[in-house]
Structure 1
Amino acid sequence: MLKTLSLVLPVLLPSWRFFQTIEPSPRVQWTVLSQGGVALGDWQEFRPRPVAIPVVQMLCRLFWNARRNDALFVVSCAERIAENPTPHSINEITRRILDDLEQGPANCHVSAAQFRLVFMSRDETGISQDILFLSTPFPVAGAAPR
Protein backbone atom coordinates (compact mmCIF):
# COMPACT_ATOMS: atom_id res chain seq x y z
CA MET A 1 0.00 0.00 0.00
CA LEU A 2 2.84 2.37 0.82
CA LYS A 3 4.46 1.65 -2.55
CA THR A 4 1.22 2.50 -4.37
CA LEU A 5 0.85 5.73 -2.41
CA SER A 6 4.42 6.72 -3.28
CA LEU A 7 3.60 6.26 -6.98
CA VAL A 8 0.28 8.14 -6.88
CA LEU A 9 1.35 11.05 -4.68
CA PRO A 10 3.64 12.73 -7.30
CA VAL A 11 0.75 12.68 -9.76
CA LEU A 12 -1.63 14.33 -7.33
CA LEU A 13 0.93 16.86 -6.05
CA PRO A 14 3.32 17.61 -8.91
CA SER A 15 6.60 19.36 -8.29
CA TRP A 16 6.92 22.92 -9.56
CA ARG A 17 10.48 22.05 -10.46
CA PHE A 18 9.13 19.94 -13.31
CA PHE A 19 9.73 22.87 -15.66
CA GLN A 20 13.27 24.21 -15.69
CA THR A 21 12.15 27.64 -16.86
CA ILE A 22 8.78 29.20 -17.47
CA GLU A 23 8.74 31.49 -20.46
CA PRO A 24 5.97 33.02 -22.55
CA SER A 25 4.86 31.02 -25.56
CA PRO A 26 4.83 32.58 -29.00
CA ARG A 27 1.40 33.37 -30.40
CA VAL A 28 0.51 32.26 -33.89
CA GLN A 29 -1.12 34.94 -36.06
CA TRP A 30 -2.20 34.62 -39.68
CA THR A 31 -3.41 36.77 -42.54
CA VAL A 32 -4.65 36.19 -46.08
CA LEU A 33 -2.97 37.74 -49.10
CA SER A 34 -4.32 38.99 -52.42
CA GLN A 35 -2.94 37.92 -55.77
CA GLY A 36 -0.45 40.78 -55.54
CA GLY A 37 0.80 39.54 -52.19
CA VAL A 38 -0.87 42.36 -50.26
CA ALA A 39 -2.49 41.53 -46.91
CA LEU A 40 -6.29 41.73 -47.21
CA GLY A 41 -6.83 42.34 -43.51
CA ASP A 42 -5.21 42.58 -40.12
CA TRP A 43 -3.24 39.76 -38.57
CA GLN A 44 -5.59 37.49 -36.63
CA GLU A 45 -4.80 35.22 -33.72
CA PHE A 46 -4.96 31.56 -34.69
CA ARG A 47 -7.77 29.81 -32.79
CA PRO A 48 -8.19 32.34 -29.98
CA ARG A 49 -9.44 31.08 -26.64
CA PRO A 50 -13.08 31.74 -25.84
CA VAL A 51 -13.78 34.55 -23.37
CA ALA A 52 -16.28 32.48 -21.38
CA ILE A 53 -17.15 28.79 -21.25
CA PRO A 54 -20.44 27.46 -19.87
CA VAL A 55 -20.08 25.19 -16.84
CA VAL A 56 -21.50 22.13 -18.65
CA GLN A 57 -19.04 22.55 -21.49
CA MET A 58 -16.20 23.02 -19.01
CA LEU A 59 -17.09 19.73 -17.31
CA CYS A 60 -17.24 17.94 -20.66
CA ARG A 61 -13.80 19.37 -21.53
CA LEU A 62 -12.33 17.62 -18.49
CA PHE A 63 -12.84 14.34 -20.35
CA TRP A 64 -12.71 15.30 -24.05
CA ASN A 65 -11.15 18.42 -25.52
CA ALA A 66 -9.60 17.51 -28.85
CA ARG A 67 -9.56 21.09 -30.14
CA ARG A 68 -7.56 22.33 -27.14
CA ASN A 69 -5.16 19.40 -27.45
CA ASP A 70 -4.61 20.40 -31.08
CA ALA A 71 -4.06 24.02 -30.02
CA LEU A 72 -1.43 22.85 -27.51
CA PHE A 73 0.29 20.95 -30.32
CA VAL A 74 0.37 24.15 -32.40
CA VAL A 75 1.95 25.99 -29.45
CA SER A 76 4.54 23.22 -29.21
CA CYS A 77 5.30 23.58 -32.93
CA ALA A 78 5.56 27.37 -32.53
CA GLU A 79 8.03 26.96 -29.67
CA ARG A 80 10.12 24.61 -31.79
CA ILE A 81 10.09 27.11 -34.68
CA ALA A 82 11.18 29.90 -32.32
CA GLU A 83 14.15 27.81 -31.18
CA ASN A 84 15.05 26.08 -34.45
CA PRO A 85 12.71 26.28 -37.48
CA THR A 86 12.05 22.90 -39.07
CA PRO A 87 9.93 22.11 -42.13
CA HIS A 88 7.82 19.69 -40.06
CA SER A 89 6.71 22.31 -37.52
CA ILE A 90 6.10 24.93 -40.20
CA ASN A 91 4.05 22.45 -42.28
CA GLU A 92 1.94 21.44 -39.25
CA ILE A 93 0.94 25.03 -38.52
CA THR A 94 0.40 25.76 -42.21
CA ARG A 95 -1.85 22.69 -42.60
CA ARG A 96 -4.03 23.72 -39.65
CA ILE A 97 -4.41 27.28 -40.93
CA LEU A 98 -5.42 25.95 -44.36
CA ASP A 99 -7.95 23.59 -42.72
CA ASP A 100 -9.52 26.53 -40.87
CA LEU A 101 -9.57 28.66 -44.03
CA GLU A 102 -11.36 25.89 -45.95
CA GLN A 103 -14.10 25.80 -43.30
CA GLY A 104 -14.53 29.60 -43.34
CA PRO A 105 -16.37 31.74 -45.89
CA ALA A 106 -14.98 31.61 -49.42
CA ASN A 107 -13.20 34.70 -50.72
CA CYS A 108 -12.33 34.77 -54.41
CA HIS A 109 -9.70 37.50 -53.90
CA VAL A 110 -7.61 35.32 -51.58
CA SER A 111 -4.56 33.85 -53.28
CA ALA A 112 -2.34 32.90 -50.39
CA ALA A 113 -1.95 33.06 -46.64
CA GLN A 114 0.93 33.65 -44.28
CA PHE A 115 1.56 33.19 -40.57
CA ARG A 116 3.91 34.69 -38.05
CA LEU A 117 5.02 33.99 -34.49
CA VAL A 118 4.77 36.89 -32.07
CA PHE A 119 5.95 37.33 -28.48
CA MET A 120 3.76 39.68 -26.48
CA SER A 121 5.38 41.58 -23.61
CA ARG A 122 4.49 44.46 -21.34
CA ASP A 123 6.65 47.54 -21.19
CA GLU A 124 6.22 51.08 -19.87
CA THR A 125 4.23 52.14 -22.95
CA GLY A 126 1.85 49.16 -22.92
CA ILE A 127 1.98 45.85 -24.74
CA SER A 128 4.59 45.34 -27.41
CA GLN A 129 4.89 42.63 -30.04
CA ASP A 130 8.16 41.11 -31.17
CA ILE A 131 7.93 39.13 -34.41
CA LEU A 132 10.05 35.99 -34.13
CA PHE A 133 9.22 34.25 -37.38
CA LEU A 134 7.41 35.13 -40.61
CA SER A 135 6.48 32.26 -42.89
CA THR A 136 6.72 32.37 -46.63
CA PRO A 137 3.31 32.84 -48.26
CA PHE A 138 1.56 29.55 -49.01
CA PRO A 139 -1.25 29.03 -51.57
CA VAL A 140 -4.81 28.64 -50.39
CA ALA A 141 -6.74 25.72 -51.95
CA GLY A 142 -9.25 26.77 -54.57
CA ALA A 143 -7.63 30.17 -55.07
CA ALA A 144 -6.60 31.48 -58.43
CA PRO A 145 -2.94 30.80 -59.25
CA ARG A 146 -0.54 33.68 -58.68
Structure 2
Amino acid sequence: MIQVFKLLLPALIPSWRFFDVIAPSPRIEFWAYDNAQHIEKWEEFRPKQKSISFLNTFLNMFWNPVRNEDLFLVTCAERLMEMPTTHSENVIFECIENEIVRVDSRLNLPKFLQFRLMVISREADVIERRVAYVSEVRQIAGQVGTCP
Protein backbone atom coordinates (compact mmCIF):
# COMPACT_ATOMS: atom_id res chain seq x y z
CA MET A 1 0.00 0.00 0.00
CA ILE A 2 2.85 2.39 0.80
CA GLN A 3 4.39 1.74 -2.62
CA VAL A 4 1.09 2.71 -4.33
CA PHE A 5 0.98 5.92 -2.28
CA LYS A 6 4.55 6.76 -3.31
CA LEU A 7 3.56 6.37 -6.95
CA LEU A 8 0.41 8.51 -6.58
CA LEU A 9 2.02 11.31 -4.54
CA PRO A 10 3.74 13.05 -7.51
CA ALA A 11 0.45 13.05 -9.41
CA LEU A 12 -1.47 14.52 -6.48
CA ILE A 13 1.13 17.14 -5.56
CA PRO A 14 2.84 18.35 -8.75
CA SER A 15 6.35 19.73 -8.71
CA TRP A 16 7.07 23.35 -9.65
CA ARG A 17 9.95 22.03 -11.72
CA PHE A 18 7.32 20.90 -14.21
CA PHE A 19 7.55 24.32 -15.90
CA ASP A 20 10.69 25.40 -17.75
CA VAL A 21 9.91 29.08 -17.35
CA ILE A 22 7.21 30.86 -15.41
CA ALA A 23 6.16 33.90 -17.39
CA PRO A 24 3.01 35.99 -17.89
CA SER A 25 0.37 34.23 -19.94
CA PRO A 26 -0.54 36.06 -23.16
CA ARG A 27 -4.06 37.42 -23.53
CA ILE A 28 -5.82 37.27 -26.86
CA GLU A 29 -7.63 40.41 -28.01
CA PHE A 30 -9.53 40.67 -31.27
CA TRP A 31 -10.93 43.38 -33.49
CA ALA A 32 -13.84 42.59 -35.81
CA TYR A 33 -15.18 45.26 -38.14
CA ASP A 34 -16.93 46.16 -41.41
CA ASN A 35 -15.52 48.43 -44.09
CA ALA A 36 -17.97 51.13 -43.03
CA GLN A 37 -16.87 51.21 -39.40
CA HIS A 38 -13.10 50.97 -39.31
CA ILE A 39 -12.81 52.14 -35.69
CA GLU A 40 -10.10 50.31 -33.78
CA LYS A 41 -11.76 48.67 -30.78
CA TRP A 42 -9.93 45.69 -29.30
CA GLU A 43 -11.91 43.24 -27.14
CA GLU A 44 -10.51 40.53 -24.92
CA PHE A 45 -11.35 37.06 -26.21
CA ARG A 46 -13.27 35.12 -23.55
CA PRO A 47 -12.46 37.32 -20.56
CA LYS A 48 -12.20 35.54 -17.24
CA GLN A 49 -15.26 35.59 -15.00
CA LYS A 50 -15.05 37.84 -11.94
CA SER A 51 -16.47 35.15 -9.68
CA ILE A 52 -17.55 31.53 -9.96
CA SER A 53 -19.94 29.82 -7.59
CA PHE A 54 -18.77 26.88 -5.52
CA LEU A 55 -21.08 24.53 -7.44
CA ASN A 56 -19.69 25.66 -10.82
CA THR A 57 -16.13 25.34 -9.52
CA PHE A 58 -16.85 21.81 -8.42
CA LEU A 59 -18.53 20.89 -11.72
CA ASN A 60 -15.70 22.49 -13.72
CA MET A 61 -13.25 20.09 -12.09
CA PHE A 62 -14.95 17.27 -14.01
CA TRP A 63 -16.31 18.91 -17.19
CA ASN A 64 -15.06 22.22 -18.60
CA PRO A 65 -14.44 22.00 -22.37
CA VAL A 66 -14.35 25.79 -22.86
CA ARG A 67 -11.51 26.17 -20.33
CA ASN A 68 -9.63 23.28 -21.98
CA GLU A 69 -9.97 25.07 -25.30
CA ASP A 70 -8.75 28.31 -23.67
CA LEU A 71 -5.65 26.52 -22.37
CA PHE A 72 -4.99 25.16 -25.86
CA LEU A 73 -5.31 28.71 -27.26
CA VAL A 74 -2.80 29.99 -24.69
CA THR A 75 -0.39 27.30 -25.87
CA CYS A 76 -0.90 28.43 -29.47
CA ALA A 77 -0.39 32.07 -28.41
CA GLU A 78 2.85 31.20 -26.61
CA ARG A 79 4.06 29.38 -29.74
CA LEU A 80 3.25 32.44 -31.85
CA MET A 81 5.33 34.65 -29.57
CA GLU A 82 8.31 32.27 -29.63
CA MET A 83 8.24 31.13 -33.25
CA PRO A 84 5.27 32.25 -35.40
CA THR A 85 3.61 29.52 -37.47
CA THR A 86 0.57 29.66 -39.70
CA HIS A 87 -0.93 26.68 -37.87
CA SER A 88 -1.06 28.45 -34.49
CA GLU A 89 -2.38 31.62 -36.12
CA ASN A 90 -5.05 29.67 -38.03
CA VAL A 91 -6.23 27.91 -34.86
CA ILE A 92 -6.66 31.22 -33.02
CA PHE A 93 -8.44 32.79 -36.00
CA GLU A 94 -10.83 29.82 -36.29
CA CYS A 95 -11.72 29.87 -32.59
CA ILE A 96 -12.36 33.62 -32.55
CA GLU A 97 -14.40 33.44 -35.75
CA ASN A 98 -16.49 30.53 -34.43
CA GLU A 99 -17.23 32.49 -31.27
CA ILE A 100 -18.22 35.61 -33.25
CA VAL A 101 -20.49 33.64 -35.60
CA ARG A 102 -22.08 31.77 -32.68
CA VAL A 103 -22.74 34.92 -30.62
CA ASP A 104 -23.66 37.48 -33.33
CA SER A 105 -26.61 37.16 -35.62
CA ARG A 106 -25.92 36.56 -39.30
CA LEU A 107 -27.20 40.05 -40.14
CA ASN A 108 -24.70 41.84 -37.87
CA LEU A 109 -21.71 39.67 -38.73
CA PRO A 110 -18.54 41.76 -39.28
CA LYS A 111 -16.51 41.22 -42.44
CA PHE A 112 -12.94 41.44 -41.16
CA LEU A 113 -11.05 40.07 -38.19
CA GLN A 114 -7.66 40.69 -36.62
CA PHE A 115 -6.17 39.59 -33.31
CA ARG A 116 -3.22 40.53 -31.15
CA LEU A 117 -1.47 38.98 -28.18
CA MET A 118 -1.01 41.12 -25.10
CA VAL A 119 1.41 40.44 -22.28
CA ILE A 120 0.47 42.01 -18.97
CA SER A 121 3.12 42.32 -16.29
CA ARG A 122 3.61 44.24 -13.07
CA GLU A 123 6.65 46.38 -12.33
CA ALA A 124 6.42 47.55 -8.71
CA ASP A 125 2.96 49.21 -8.56
CA VAL A 126 2.62 49.80 -12.30
CA ILE A 127 0.74 47.37 -14.53
CA GLU A 128 2.37 47.26 -17.93
CA ARG A 129 0.58 46.12 -21.12
CA ARG A 130 2.74 45.19 -24.10
CA VAL A 131 1.69 44.04 -27.56
CA ALA A 132 3.62 40.84 -28.32
CA TYR A 133 2.10 39.88 -31.67
CA VAL A 134 -0.34 41.35 -34.19
CA SER A 135 -1.91 39.19 -36.89
CA GLU A 136 -2.79 40.16 -40.41
CA VAL A 137 -6.39 41.12 -41.18
CA ARG A 138 -8.54 38.26 -42.48
CA GLN A 139 -12.00 38.10 -43.96
CA ILE A 140 -14.62 36.27 -41.89
CA ALA A 141 -16.14 33.31 -43.74
CA GLY A 142 -19.29 33.27 -41.59
CA GLN A 143 -19.47 29.52 -41.05
CA VAL A 144 -19.66 27.89 -37.66
CA GLY A 145 -17.07 25.19 -37.24
CA THR A 146 -15.26 23.58 -34.38
CA CYS A 147 -12.15 24.91 -32.79
CA PRO A 148 -9.35 22.36 -33.25
Name the TM-score class by shorter chain.
Answer: 0.7 to 0.9
Amino acid corresponding to residue 119 of structure 2 in structure 1: F
- Distance of aligned partners of 1:6 and 1:123 in 2 relative to their CA distance in 1, 3 Å threshold: closer
**Alignment match, 1:112:** 112
Alpha-carbon separation, structure 2, partners of 1:103 and 1:111: 15
Q: 1:88 is matched with which residue? A: 87
Within 1, Cα distance between the matches of 2:38 and 2:117?
19
- Please report the RMSD computed on the Cα atoms of aligned residues, expressed in angstroms: 2.0
On the 8 A contact 2:32/2:111 being kept in 1, the answer is: yes
Q: Which runs of 4+ in 1 moved over 6 A?
A: none
**What is the aligned partner in structure 1 of residue 34 from structure 2?**
34
How many percent identity over aligned positions?
37
For the residues of structure 1 that align with 2:10 and 2:125, how far apart are their CA atoms?
A: 42
- TM-superposed deviation, 1:140: 1.5
Gaps of 5+ in 2: 143-148
Offset from partner CA, 1:22-42 (integer Å, 9 cap, x none): 101111000112226823x52
| 1:5 equivalenced with 2:18 (yes/no) | no
Instruction: List per-residue Cα deviations over 1:91-128 (Å, max 9, x = no partner).
Output: 10000000011012236472201000011123468322
Deviates more, 1:77-86 or 1:97-106: 97-106
Secondary structure, aligned partner of 1:21: coil
What runs of 5+ residues in structure 1 fail to find an aligned partner?
none
Corresponding position of 1:46: 45
Alpha carbons 2:101, 2:109 under 8 Å: kept = no
Shift of 1:80: 0.4
Distance in 1 between residues matched to 2:5 and 2:113, nearest whole Å: 52
Q: How many residues end up aligned between the 2 structures?
A: 141
- Does residue 22 in structure 1 map to residue 22 in structure 2? yes
CA distance in 1, matches of 2:78, 2:18: 18
Q: TM-score, normalised by structure 2?
A: 0.85
Residue type of the partner of 2:77? A
